[in-house]
Amino acid sequence: MKNHRTVNRKAATNIRIRGGACRRGECRRAPAALACLTALALVPAALGGWLGAQTAPAPVGRAVRVIPRADVTRAARTLRLNENDPLAEQDRVRTGAGGRARLSLVDGSIINVGQSSEFIVRAAQEASRASALELRYGRLRAWVAGRTGGGSFQIRTNTAVCGVLGTTIFVEATRDLTRVANVSEEETALVRVTSTDARVTHEVLLRPGEGTAVPSRRPPQPPRRWTREEMQAAYDDTDVQ
């Protein structure tokens, strides 16, 4: 009987220990197992963050001022553009009626976008490399930072290509016509204007105060001095306070 009671007490003890999930050696292994499971659970989040960091577009500029609203489309997703938001290559910026925006690019250039306008940041690099904007429609005024080391800055529309050499330029674009003016105050500043049609090889150089118009599939019209009213309208239409 004594041996039987002893065996029963040992069995009961074993049952209680098993109920507490603490068989011999398991109590020591449990913390280590929990730590492994926790580490494994964190792997997807860490990997996702790393992949996001690898694929996130590098900023090429930022929004400095937005009045009262502008939108940006990136990778087929349209969001409201807020002040200090970064801009990336291929971003599509759009203003509605009454909307305006001022943007700063990494090369130091400043872009004022008028109302009811849309443009795309095709490329924006430091001043020693190529930068390009595409104005789909509307108006913009750009103060283009001086280029170094053979760098270039272009503004394209449906009908014209404007090569800017460290100056201030005004561009107004519709589907069939582009108006361009060199509104710089520096006497040496030049704007080269050509057609987007490769068959049209004629180009014009605009000196400060001069403008031209480029119809679809036609060469740029001869440069002419813009009137004071035209110059003032160019500033007023792209003014961002």
The per-residue pLDDT for range 181-208, each reduced to its tens digit, is 999 988 888 999 999 999 999 999 999 9
| Contact yes or no for 231/238 (Cβ under 8 A) | no
Model pLDDT, residue 175: 95
Q: Of the candidates 198, 193, 192, 195, which has an alpha carbon nearest to the alpha carbon of residue 219?
A: 195
Average pLDDT over residues 144-171: 83
Where do we find the tokens 């309208």? 233
Give 116's DSSP letter. S
Q: Is 233 helix (H, G, I), strand (E, B) or coil?
A: helix
Average pLDDT over residues 142-161: 81
Q: What is the DSSP string of 110-142?
A: EEEE-SS-EEEEEE---TTS-EEEEEEEEEEEE
What residues have CB less than 8 Å from 39, skipping those under 6 apart?
none
* pLDDT-derived band at 32, boundaries 50, 70, 90: low
Give 27's DSSP letter. H
φ, ψ of residue 81 to 5 degrees: the values are -90, 120
* pLDDT-derived band at 36, boundaries 50, 70, 90: very low
| Contact yes or no for 175/156 (Cβ under 8 A) | no
* pLDDT-derived band at 125, boundaries 50, 70, 90: low
Distances (CA, A) of 91 to 53, 104, 113, 240: 18, 14, 14, 20
Where do we find the tokens 């970064």? 86
d(CA 187, CA 189): 6
* pLDDT-derived band at 51, boundaries 50, 70, 90: very low
φ, ψ of residue 178 to 5 degrees: the values are -125, 135
Q: Is 195 helix (H, G, I), strand (E, B) or coil?
A: strand
What are 178's two structure tokens? 């582009």
Average pLDDT over residues 25-54: 48
Average pLDDT over residues 228-236: 96
pTM listed for this prediction: 0.74
Average pLDDT over residues 6-23: 46
Model pLDDT, residue 151: 59
Q: Report which residue type is found at 36.
A: C
* Chain CA centroid to CA 40, Å: 36
Of residues 152 and 139, the one with the higher pLDDT is 139
Strands in the chain per DSSP E: 59-67, 70-74, 77-81, 86-88, 92-95, 100-105, 110-113, 118-123, 131-143, 153-156, 160-165, 168-173, 177-182, 190-195, 203-206, 210-215, 224-225
Q: Of the candidates 137, 113, 99, which has an alpha carbon nearest to the alpha carbon of residue 61?
A: 113
| Contact yes or no for 79/91 (Cβ under 8 A) | no
φ, ψ of residue 78 to 5 degrees: the values are -105, 130
* Chain CA centroid to CA 13, Å: 69
In the predicted structure, residue 75 carries a pLDDT above the cut 80: yes
Percentage of the chain with pLDDT > 70?
71
What are 6's two structure tokens? 């002893």
